[in-house]
Structure 1
């Protein structure tokens, strides 16, 4: 409830005036400094995306690695 018989002392008024000056000084000091960089959750835990895993190959007969391996094996078998 609101107190209708509220009394304000001169000391309180003086303190409030000084407080306003102090707050203005603090605001000036804060404006001079750069704002801190806020990290995302991923940056906080040092998350690094690893990319996607390769999917299933659909055509193993035309795969360059498989062709090279088959040719190497056929050369080894021919040499024996």
Structure 2
């Protein structure tokens, strides 16, 4: 058991709760978490994986062209991070 979590499913449940609490508008501090998954557009991700990461981690999937346009992908990712960073 690590950090009070005894199984993999518990990790997802605890992180979902923690994420919601940290990003709550009712808190008196500024701390925001932002998650996103960038995946190669030619790769077919399992819908269960995409749905699970969105549900548990509030991480949307963004398809990008790492193979054919890595620089454009890098700029897109960096822009997203900049927008989410205070």
Smaller-chain TM-score range?
Answer: under 0.3
TM-score calculated relative to the size of structure 1: 0.22
TM-score calculated relative to the size of structure 2: 0.21
Q: Which has the higher helix share?
A: 1
Q: Which has the higher strand share?
A: 2
